[in-house]
Structure 1
Amino acid sequence: MSKFISEGHLVWFQKIFFERYGITFLFENNNDVVSIKCDGSEKIVSFSNLDMAFYKFGESNLNCYEWNASKENYIGVIESVLKAPSSKELSQPIINLHANGAIINYDILGLTYWMLNRLEEVGRTDLDNHDRFPAINSHAYKYDYLERPIVDEWLDILQQVIQRVWPNLKLKKHQFSIKVSHDVDVPSRFAFSTPFGVIKSMASLVLKNNNIKLALMAPFIYLGSKNKIHPLDPFNTFDWLMNISEKNNLKSAFYFICGRTDTSKDALYEPEHPIIRKMMLEMYNRGHEIGLHPSYNSYNNPEQINFEAQRLKKVCKELGIEQSQWGGRMHFLRWSHPTTLQAWNDAEMSYDSTLGYADRPGFRCGTCHEYTGFNPVTDTILHIKIRPLIIMDCSVIAKHYMGLGYTEKAFDQIIKYKRICEKVEGNFTFLWHNSFFNGKKSFKLYEDIIQS
């Protein structure tokens, strides 16, 4: 067994390959050559050029090369030229087919392990003001492949090799899907505020937004939100969001905050509040999903994440909400790898959908396919699935990020990622907050993204 590839790695690779190809391959490691075999066949696909850099934590000494798939008679699913992070110069050719199988001279397995399990993020200190690892510090951003699902591209090349070595194998066919979700940070502009808070909001609406009309309506909306959020509340877009999803045969996931670890960042509501309970039940009855949005300072506190997860499940149980899976996303996309992932796993959550960057859209994990989590520190396969986040509304639209506003440029940027996800038959995982609408252009932009 290699010094840097464990038995746990091989079992995890087997799971990843089963999820991707629908085949249980046998993985073997002999003198730093990993081979995959298939039942009923003597043929072998071997990875002969393993790269130790893919198994190291933190900032790596990886360079990034390019490989032209078409020159070796393969088809790049996104482009002919694939990016190839590596600490070694590429051996040519990358793929050698022979009578007994194939030898692959680029460490596709290592790349998959390194990207999916976010090894470059472990122990990093070059974080932003919310203690998040930013896109601009990532290898993918520095070498210009953040906009490409690099793991999906290479696994598609590997699929072509598998089909040539074992032409009679029936590999799994994936279907493109849209996974739309809504972090319920602020369900109402006014309903959960205090009278003084409403007055502050009114002043802000006049001085910062020049929205005198809404400022004058604020007291009436506040007073009219005792049993349910007033329909004129600008953040009460839930019915509209569900209508759009239902119109397009989609299921929306609504992630609720169930704790308060920072009073300036977390929600004003409690999940037990009658308005929230009524809202959750209506969403569930309409066929949508209820999920968790752990509080601001819970990302490195496993006990707090577990407390909030159990709190959500308790409220849902009381309401008769039964779901086959429980998922969600961290507040502010705060994440410390692998502590946060392990906490979600230990809280018996089904999936997490945090892993996208706040400052840029793109493929943080190198894939838009959901996959089984792994703790690279403890060398343990986890039960939880990772559902990478591809686009967050404010990453593209907000002034402090890309700043494209509710424009055609924003639409083009977002649709570009949607089309890429379609090409690799993955999930377009798309976050749009219920409170992130501002006028007719914003509603039209959202609907156009869903329908295009």
Structure 2
Amino acid sequence: MLLIYTQKITPRIVYVFKHICTNILGIPIKFTTKIEEFIAHEGVKLSYGKQALGNELFIEKIDLLLAQGVSEVEIKVQPWGDSFCFFPVSEKSALPFDIFAASFFLLSRYEEYLPHVKDEQGRFPASESVGFQEDFLRAPVVDIWAYKFKELVEDRFPNLKLKKRKYDTRAVIAVDHVFSFQNKGFIRSLMGLQRDFVKLQFQKVAHRIQVLLRLKKDPYNTFEALINFHKKQKVPLVFMFQLSDFSVHDRNINYNRSPYRSVIKYVGDYSEVGLIPGHYAFESKKTLRKEKLRMENIVHMPLERVMNLNHNLNIPEFYNFLTELEISKDYSMGYPDAPGFRAGTCRPFLFYDINTESTLPLTVYPYMFDSSFAERKEAKETAKVLSKLIKQVKAVDGSFKAVFKNEDFSEYADYNQYFSLLKKVYKK
């Protein structure tokens, strides 16, 4: 057990120390504000304050973890070995920066509460993040810092035995459109044919007619191939489905159609499934609850997993919706346009709501790579970026997650490239 002395115990301090020490490093912790208790303790101990009490392991703090709410903070990023750090402190500290305040800043998404320029879709873009601007977005700095802190603790307390964590990986298949042509209804199919003719996409015209006449399988119905990949490779997959009402933003087929429900049940027999909330579910808890119940009625089990496919997280309101509806796992933490570590970590973590200064019972599973990146880059560059990200995660025994779409594996995409990327994700 690690005994931590701090003059004041705040929710922020408890949250980030538990994540760094317990969640990442596996060290049980206990806090004390009593100097006498701390000095008398003969085991592993650390003080977190403005000055050391004696010769103990000492980390100097800044005031971020003592504050409440959000205010402008000065970020001066500086190199630290082969990594980066910010929130520098004096040489009295065992580390040159406040590792706990810096980790809290990234994990809580503090910068997303601050004024920023949103993109055309109202999202917090990667370009607004300190990680992107200071060129450390593609490094899991929170985990790197934690492992450097681990070396410090082990060096100071050689009798402390810490277990090595295991690297794991998982791909998420986001199903925005379960079918391309099938079950769209007469009017939508007719309009689709007309659009394909105008665009001179005669191959699509032929495919659409063949699918409607049941002479050909729908090109987006790639689920059998993906489940076969799961069986052959013996690897886990997570499938996310949208069950929202039809609108200008959400154009999937009706959730009540039998073929759609059959796909979800078929996939659910082999893999974990979750929900992609519709556009209006991010603004309305009532709408989100309705879509949650639809999924639960199909799979006959409580909904645990959600992914925001539009990536407009609307922090922290959307996460509060999930908590109130007892949805415990979110897979939305990442940038579709920029591979890397949005929250600075590759490990699942509990979300901290700065508005209420409390830890939510919601585990965030960050992803590092989105297949939409491959649509804009050459295949070699995409594979190289993916390999570097995986290497970074393996170095800290983390959890690698990548997001693909079911249409990535259709005949309208370079499915060989995407299967190659999928295999790379799971390569041991």
Equivalent position of 2:14 in the other structure: 11
**8 Å CA contact retained: 2:181, 2:208:** yes
CA distance in 2, matches of 1:416, 1:196: 47
TM-score (norm 1): 0.82
Are the aligned partners of 1:150 and 1:366 in contact in 2 as well (CA < 8 Å)? yes
1:447 aligns with 2:425: no
- Is 1:24–2:1 an aligned residue pair? no
CA deviations 1:368-397 (Å, max 9, x no partner) are 111122211101111110101211111x12
2:100 counterpart of 1:109: yes
Instruction: Report the equivalent of 1:216.
Output: 206
The equivalent residue for 2:86 is 85
2:186 alignment counterpart:
195
Q: Is the 1:368–1:388 Cα contact (8 Å) retained in structure 2?
A: yes
Task: Pick from 272, 277, 294 the counterpart of residue 256 of structure 2.
Answer: 272
- Separation (CA, whole Å) in 1 of partners of 2:311 and 2:345: 18
User: How far 1:38 sits from its partner (Å)?
Assistant: 12
Separation in 2, partners of 1:39, 1:259: 57
Higher deviation after alignment, 108-117 or 430-439: 430-439
The one of 207, 220, 226 equivalent to 1:235 is: 220
Match of 2:313 among 335, 342, 359: 335
Are residues 411 and 205 of structure 1, via their aligned partners in 2, closer, same or farther at CA, if it must alter by over 3 Å?
farther
Matched, 1:349 2:327: yes
**8 Å contact from structure 1 (residues 182, 252) kept in 2:** yes
Q: Please tell me whether residue 247 in structure 1 is matched to residue 220 in structure 2.
A: no
In the other structure, the counterpart of 1:101 is none
- Report Cα offsets for 1:12-32 as digits up to 9, x if no partner: 23431322122211234689x
Given that residues 136 and 142 in structure 1 are in contact (C-alpha distance below 8 angstroms), is that contact kept between their aligned partners in structure 2?
yes
Q: Which moved more, 1:190-199 or 1:337-346?
A: 190-199
Q: Which moved more, 1:19-28 or 1:341-350?
A: 19-28
Shift of 1:147: 1.0
Structure 1 residues 177, 58: closer, same or farther in 2, change over 3 A? Answer: farther
- For 1:293, the equivalent position in structure 2 comes to 276
Pair 1:282-2:281 in alignment:
no
Structure 2 CA distance for aligned equivalents of residues 37 and 271 of structure 1: 63
Instruction: Give how far 1:447 is off.
Output: 2.2
Give me the whole-angstrom Cα distance separating, in 1, the residues matched to 2:164 and 2:210.
54
Percent identical among aligned pairs is 20
Counting only pairs closer than 5 Å after superposition, residues 387-406 of structure 1 correspond to structure 2 as 387-394=365-372, 396-398=373-375, 403-404=376-377
Moved more, 166-175 or 38-47: 38-47
SS in structure 2 at match of 1:219 = helix
Instruction: Report the equivalent of 2:54.
Output: none
- The amino acid that maps onto 1:266 is D
CA distance in 2, matches of 1:38, 1:59: 39
Q: What residue number does 2:393 align with?
A: 421
Task: Tell me the distance in 2 between the aligned counterparts of 1:211 and 1:30.
Answer: 75
More displaced 10-residue stretch of structure 1: 383-392 or 341-350: 341-350
Q: Is the 2:220–2:410 contact (alpha carbons within 8 Å) kept by the matching residues of 1? A: no
1:138-217 equivalence runs, <5 A? 138-208=129-199, 211-217=201-207
For the 8 Å contact 1:14–1:24, the answer to whether it is kept is: no
Q: In 1, are the aligned partners of 2:334 and 2:367 still within 8 Å (CA)?
A: yes
Q: Which residue of 1 aligns with 2:52?
A: none
Alignment length (residue pairs): 407
CA distance in 2, matches of 1:106, 1:310: 47
- Backbone CA RMSD of aligned residues: 3.0
1:41 paired to 2:43 = yes
| Residues 308-345 of structure 1: per-residue CA shift (max 9 Å, x gap) | 2233123221xxxx47x711201311111111112112
Which residue does 2:78 correspond to in 1? Answer: 65
Please state whether the residue corresponding to 1:361 is helix, strand or coil: coil
Does the residue aligned with 1:432 lie in a helix, a strand or coil?
strand
CA distance in structure 2 between the partners assigned to 1:429 and 1:38 by the alignment: 44
Question: Which residue of 408, 411, 416 corresponds with 2:383?
Answer: 411
Residue 76 of structure 2 aligns to which amino acid in structure 1?
A: N
Measured in 1, the distance between the counterparts of 2:34 and 2:105 equals 21
Residue pair 2:86, 2:97 contacting (<8 A) in 1 also: no
Q: Among residues 27, 42, 64, which one is paired with 1:52 in the alignment? A: 64
Which residue identity lines up with residue 308 of structure 2 in the other structure? M
C-alpha separation between the residues in 2 aligned to 1:30 and 1:314?
53
Confirm or deny that 1:310 pairs with 2:302: no
In the TM superposition, residue 360 of structure 1 has moved relative to its aligned partner by: 1.0
Gaps of 5+ in 2: 47-56
Residues 176-204 of structure 1, C-alpha deviations (whole Å, 9 max, x = no match): 22221111110101113122322333344
| Partner deviation per Cα, 1:151-180 (whole Å, 9 max, x = no partner) | 111011111112122323232322222221
Q: SS at 1:276's partner residue? A: helix
The answer to whether the 8 A contact 1:362-1:390 is kept is yes
Structure 1: unaligned runs, 5 residues or longer: 69-80, 96-103, 225-229
Q: Would you say the 8 A contact 2:210–2:216 is kept in 1? A: no
One-letter amino acid of the counterpart of residue 124, structure 1: P
* Counterparts of 2:216 and 2:360, CA distance in 1: 43
The one-letter amino acid paired with 1:221 is: V
Cα separation, partners in 2 of 1:358 and 1:451, compared to 1, 3 Å: closer
Match in the other structure for 2:51: none
Contact 2:26 2:163 in 1 (8 A): yes
Letter in 2 for 1:91: S
User: What CA distance in whole angstroms lies between the structure 1 residues aligned with 2:184 and 2:40?
Assistant: 61
